[in-house]
Amino acid sequence: MTAESTNLTTPVGRLVMGSLYRPNTTDAEGRPLLIKNGPNAGQPRSEYYFALAIPKGTEQSWAQTEWGAAIYNTGVRAFPQGQYQKPDFAWKIEDGDSTIPNQKGRKNVDREGHKGHWILKFSSGNAPKVFNADGTQAITEPGAVKTGYYVQVNCTAAGNESSQRPGLYLNHNMVALSGYGPEIVVGPDPTSVGFGAAPLPPGASAVPTGAFAPAPAAPPVAPAPAAPPVAVAPNPAFLAPPPPAAPPAAPVRVMLPAANGASYEQLLAAGWTDAQMVQHGMMAA
């Protein structure tokens, strides 16, 4: 790094334009990007470009901030003949509240994330290295940091050594993902350009042809209602109490000739027992 260059790290700002991952091969007018100086002058080149929006404070100029003063002093050293004082000196810093239209008629104040900010524009032929908020871990996933997220940028400010269009380069080196914000989508809203309003011409189908369309799902079958319970009349026979059990039949006693014609009751009254009557042969066992 020469005396005409400065390495610095910005405050946290919002990524409002460009991409950390996708290089440009043409300029804003669509012309191919070419190497301007050196032995490879005229050959195609690619450029990783993005813009950072840093919130304004009470300062009246970006050069009154700590980071701005470092960039401003670099421009003074790089162009000691005073070219930095020209109104068209390319500082690569713009006022986000500017109402002056650019070559395409767009105003900074109308761009998302610009109002109330200083806009720093970074570029380099190499993609920046991306890290977490404190730089302790690299983020290697492509597209992990999207336009609209909040980042810090480590960069090198250096004079462009041009006598025709004097200015500075803000070359990004590393980017730290500080926080998340609503993603900024570049380009027109696809829902606002009239898609779907035109009728289909004859022969066009809203569904693919030459293939079976999926059958519509059958409506769910409701279960049949349960039949009401049928009342069953009880059997009258089960309601009446059972009849009383018949008394056991009296045993039949057969008297033998040895009883000399006496009946069982007469012998029982005379004191004979059943066992004595059987023993003496007066009654059959």
Q: What is the CATH number of the domain that holds 21?
A: 2.40.50.140
- Do 175 and 259 share a domain, yes or no? no
Average pLDDT score, the chain: 86
Q: Does residue 187 lie in a domain region?
A: no
Do residues 128 and 30 share a domain?
Answer: yes
Alpha-carbon distance of 32 to 174, in angstroms, equals 26
Give domain status of residue 247, yes or no: no
Per-residue pLDDT at 71? 97
Same domain? 158 vs 266: no
Query: Which pLDDT score is estimated for 102?
Result: 87
Closest CA relative to residue 17, chosen from 136, 158, 193, 172: 172
Q: Is residue 231 part of a domain?
A: no
What's the full length of the chain, in residues?
Answer: 285
In a domain, 191, yes or no: no
Would you say residue 11 lies in a domain? yes
Whether 22 and 111 share a structural domain: yes
Looking at residue 245, what is its pLDDT? 67
Residues 67 and 150 grouped into a single domain: yes
Indicate the number of domains in the chain: 2
- Domain stops at, among 126, 161, 179: 179
Contact predicate 93/62, CB 8 Å:
yes
* Pairing status of strand 150-159 against strand 13-18: antiparallel
* 140 and 271 within one domain: no
185 within some domain: no
Query: In terms of domains, do 171 and 31 share one?
Result: yes
Based on the fold, state whether residues 76 and 172 are members of the same structural domain: yes
For the chain, what is the HEC assignment? Answer: CCCCEEEEECCCEEEEEECCCCCECECCCCCECECCCCCCCCCECCEEEEEEEEECCCCCCHHHCHHHHHHHHHHHHHCCCCHHHCCCCECCEEECCCCCCCCCCCCHHHCCCCCCEEEEEEEECCCCEEECCCCCCECCCCCCCCCCCEEEEEEEEEECCCCCCCEEEEEEEEEEEEECCCCCCCCCCCCCCCCCCCCCCCCCCCCCCCCCCCCCCCCCCCCCCCCCCCCCCCCHHHHCCCCCCCCCCCCCCCECHHHCCCCHHHHHHCCCCHHHHHHCCCECC
- The answer as to whether 199 is a domain residue is no
Please check whether residues 268 and 142 belong to one and the same domain.
no
Strands 168-179 and 150-159: antiparallel
Looking at 124, 149, 179, the residue that finishes a domain is: 179
Which residues of the chain register pLDDT less than 50? 1, 212
Taking the CA atoms of 101, 102, 104 and 106 in sequence, report the sign of the dihedral they define.
negative
- In the listed set 130, 150, 179, which residue is the last one of a domain according to the structure? 179
Q: What is the pLDDT of residue 258?
A: 78
Same domain? 68 vs 164: yes
Q: Which of 284, 47, 18 is nearest to 171 (CA)?
A: 47
What backbone phi and psi angles, to 5 degrees, belong to 63? -70, -10
Same domain, 267 and 126: no
pLDDT value of position 231: 62
Beta-bridge partner residues of 131: 138, 176
pLDDT of residue 252: 75
Beta bridge partners of 121: 51
Kindly state whether residue 165 falls inside one of the protein's structural domains.
yes
Domain that holds residue 83: 5-179
Please give the single-letter amino acid code of residue 47.
E
